[in-house]
A = this chain, B = another copy of it.
Amino acid sequence: MNISERKKQILKSIVENYIETAEPVGSRAISEGLGLSSATIRNEMAEMTSLGLLEQPHTSAGRIPTSLGYRIYVNELMRSHMLTISETEEINKSLKIRMEQLDKAISDAGRLVSELTNYPAYALAAVNTPVTVRRFDFIQVDPRTLIVVLMLSNSTVKNRLMNLTRPLDEGFLLKLGAVFNANFTNCPESEMDSTLISSVERATGDIYGISASIASFAIRALSETENKKAFVAGASHILEHPEYRDWEKAHRLMNYLSESENVFRLPVPEDNSDVKILIGSENVAEELKDSSVVVAKYELGAGVEGLLGVVGPTRMDYAKVAASLSYIAKGMKALVDGKENHLPVLGNEKSADE
């Protein structure tokens, strides 16, 4: 979109004023800041309205940005936000999560984002390489109790306690280990079918009826690991924003976010970009047409990558939200690399301002 520099400055003032006050902004409100008379600004506003960058709730109200208006602001005018020292300190402190429990780490990251931005946040993780069992181990606790330990190809370990109906013979345990390690390791979930299982059952001469349980445990462990996980935090924050004071709007959005299938369908940043921003009508889901989504990608090594996002009104503090998300997403990566004391510091590298 090619518009004059002056129009851009006016648009910028309108967007920032509107983000702050949540009220349609009139020509007078920004005339001083720009050193132009309100009449001049009115003329420009009228043109921008017909260009589709601004709209009026009604004839005698000020202007508010359209999705397109926000889009231009985000692409060309937004000055990248600088997190305060105390904010980065808070993030750094919170990020020192115990990473053993992947789920918890991810949901905590979501919570952190939500608290920081005061918008509902979501976090999701997916494993993008097929996972296999790398190794089976069996620990005999007592004659009728067995612990099955699986080491998976992504370096996670799963275990399960199993009870037997009759005392276990030691030789059987060795055979069980040999057969499972020979047949099931490096075998993706999809190939673990019933014929494989029954052939293993024969090979071990299983009189305890336990091979099938072990196999199904392995299958479940793999599918659990490969399954996507979604967490939503701070959904109630949307009630703080005037655009959701209407309970039906709030309810619709909260309902949408409480279904994890919907969360999985939220947008994904392009590979080359840091943060993706979808504004209002740019969203495909009907329920999000008057909300915006800001999302960042993070990696956790071991083939795990995921998204960290924020949902809020189109009148969102995009600069701050994008900065926070980007910082936290990078921080998660750094955490895994063990450099938790060297978190990146976001600067003005993306400034489009003078």
Q: Which of B147, B161, B239, B258 contacts A254 (CB under 8 A)?
A: B239
Give the A interface residue count (CB, 8 A).
30
Q: Does A250 contact B (CB under 8 A)?
A: yes
Q: Does A202 contact B (CB under 8 A)?
A: no
Quick check: A151 and B147 within 8 Å, CB to CB? Answer: yes
- List residues 234-258 of chain A with CB under 8 A from any CB of chain B: 234-236, 239-240, 244-245, 247, 250-251, 254-255, 258
Rounded to whole angstroms, the CA-CA distance of A220 and B135 in the bound complex is 25
- A51 → B minimal CB distance (Å): 35
Rounded to whole angstroms, the CA-CA distance of A139 and B158 in the bound complex is 13
Quick check: A147 and B149 within 8 Å, CB to CB? Answer: yes
Q: Does A340 contact B (CB under 8 A)?
A: no
Quick check: A141 and B149 within 8 Å, CB to CB? Answer: no
Give A150-176 as 1s and 0s: 1 = Cβ < 8 Å from B's Cβ atoms. Answer: 010001111111000000000000000
Q: In the complex where A149-B147, A151-B141 touch, is A160 in contact with B236 (Cβ < 8 A)?
A: no
Quick check: B149 and A149 within 8 Å, CB to CB? Answer: yes
- A24 → B minimal CB distance (Å): 21
> Within 8 Å CB of A234, what residues of B?
258
> Within 8 Å CB of A58, what residues of B?
none
Q: Does A265 contact B (CB under 8 A)?
A: no
Rounded to whole angstroms, the CA-CA distance of A250 and B237 in the bound complex is 11
Q: Does A287 contact B (CB under 8 A)?
A: no
16 CB-based A-B contacts, threshold 8 Å: A98-B220, A139-B149, A147-B149, A149-B149, A151-B161, A155-B161, A157-B160, A158-B159, A235-B235, A235-B254, A236-B250, A236-B258, A239-B247, A239-B250, A245-B247, A247-B247
